[in-house]
Amino acid sequence: MNDLYETPSWTTRAILAELQGLPRDAVWLEPAFGKGAITDAVDGFYVSALDWRACDIGEPPPRGTFPNVAFEQLDFLTVAPGKLGPLPSIRVIITNSPFSLAQEFVEHALCWMDATVIMLLRLNFLGSQKRAKLFHGSMPDVYVLPKRPSFTGGGTDATEYAWMVWPAGQHYGRRVGQISVLEVP
């Protein structure tokens, strides 16, 4: 199954501009690394290379392409917290997960209690009987993208997207989150 859709950098810059105070001196995790679009956008936004852990089921990046990324070719959904680095060190998890596994990625990322979890998801991810139980106890903050992103470079689909954010230490027991629309890029 090919579920690789690279994240346009403007979408990542938009959420980072909104989320002030994310720790830059900690380890960040990209669990659906793909070709590294999110790590590139984050490092570019902060004008510095952060300390990254990354995994993906696809091929690893060419050697030397991402010197600040410790990459492992594996399925994130099989990784126990602590496998990619000591638990307290991973403080931010940010990804555009495969949409066919979005709920699984969210639920697994929430196991890293000390990390802020940031997921690019379809806005209609919120409206599902299947996910209702998740949201009754783990409501994210929702940051709607002001325009539809093109994941292929050939136009957009008919779907609205948002970054959904679960603040560190607040993954469970949240029944209400905030919603806002990000700035137009």
DSSP annotation string for 73-117 = ES-GGGPPTTTTS-GGGEEEEEE---GGGHHHHHHHHTT-TTSEE
Nearest Cα residue to 112 out of 27, 3, 16: 27
pLDDT tens digits along 117-173: 999 999 999 998 999 999 999 999 999 999 888 777 777 777 899 999 999 988 888
Q: Hey, where are the domains in the chain?
A: 9-181
Residues 6+ apart with CB under 8 A from 107: 134
Q: What's the pLDDT score for residue 154?
A: 74
Q: What's the pLDDT score for residue 88?
A: 59
pLDDT band at 1 (very low <50, low <70, confident <90, very high): very low
Mean pLDDT, rounded, for 176-180 = 95
Provide the 10 A C-beta neighbour count for residue 180. 11
Nearest Cα residue to 42 out of 51, 156, 34: 51
The second-level CATH assignment, the architecture, of 9-181 is 3-Layer(aba) Sandwich (3.40)
Q: What's the pLDDT score for residue 149?
A: 81
Decide: 147 and 155 in contact? Cβ < 8 Å: no
Whether pTM > 0.85 for this model: the answer is: yes
Q: What average pLDDT does the chain have? A: 90
Rounded Cα distance between 46 and 79, Å, is: 28
Rounded Cα distance between 151 and 137, Å, is: 31
Order of strands, edge to edge, in the sheet holding 116-122?
A: 69-73, 51-56, 27-30, 90-95, 116-122, 161-166, 141-144, 179-181
